[in-house]
Structure 1
Amino acid sequence: MVTDGGRSGVSQLRRGVLEFCVLALLRDGERYGFELVRDLGAAQAMVTSEGTIYPLLSRLRREELVTPSWRESTSGPPRRYYTLTPAGHRALKEFTAEWTLFRDAVDRLLTHEENNG
């Protein structure tokens, strides 16, 4: 039974897809950590923090889905930029195919419930 209006379930769902959202942002080019936080925050349902993103990026690096490189910054200390690896591209492609099926199935079930409720 859900007692918090579904927020806990949404939080779990967000955590489950966050890494693929990061990979999707990196698909279009390299980015640094705070840039990822900002871009995820622009997608309101994906608001996150640096405390979540940096450990996630470390895990993605260990799993060889992203590769980091340091760059000098004109507005402060050097920044670590992340780039999608070939394995990261494959993981994102596989997730995207599965996500489409999953999303469509959930949409059908939710729509059916609304229409019959």
Structure 2
Amino acid sequence: MDIQLKKGVLELCVLESLYRKDCYGYELVDQVSKIIDISEGTIYPLLKRLQNDKYLEYYIKESSVGPPRKYYKITLSGIEHYKNQREEWFRIFNSVTDFLKGVDINE
């Protein structure tokens, strides 16, 4: 996948995952990697930016298999941002799909 296209949808995929449930970093990498090939080094700067933008917050939770984990949780403003981004994604997706199928968008 083209790197610019990947960067464009990565945030939406992360927000979707966190909208569904709180996750720790590696868990997010695992989930998103099923859709987009990413590494841990890709996701942590994004998580930090989303946290700085107040779209995410985190909490520490003990783990039964190792050290405590930092779980990320979407905030109320993050949910609003996610829903706006999701709506925009579908609008663009549908418009581009119609265009590629040769549908006249002026009709």
**TM-score, normalization: structure 2?**
0.90
1:97 counterpart residue number: 87
Report the equivalent of 1:79. Answer: 69
The Cα shift of 1:16 comes to 1.2
Mapped partners of 1:99, 1:42: distance in 2: 19
Matches within 5 A, 1:1-117: 7=1, 10-43=2-35, 46-112=36-102
| Structure 2 CA distance for aligned equivalents of residues 13 and 22 of structure 1 | 15
Work out the CA distance in 1 between the residues paired with 2:46 and 2:40.
10
Matched residues, number = 103
Aligned-residue identity in percent: 40
Structure 2 unaligned blocks of 5 or more? none
| Aligned residue identity for 1:93 | K
Q: Is the 8 A contact 1:67 1:82 kept in 2?
A: yes
Q: What CA distance in whole angstroms lies between the structure 2 residues aligned with 1:47 and 1:40?
A: 8
The gaps in structure 1 that reach 5 residues or longer are 1-6
Q: More helix per residue: 1 or 2? A: 1
The one-character-per-residue Cα deviations of 1:26-83 (angstroms, maximum 9, x if unpaired) are 001100000000001112xx12110011111111111010101111111111110000
Work out the CA distance in 1 between the residues paired with 2:47 and 2:66: 21
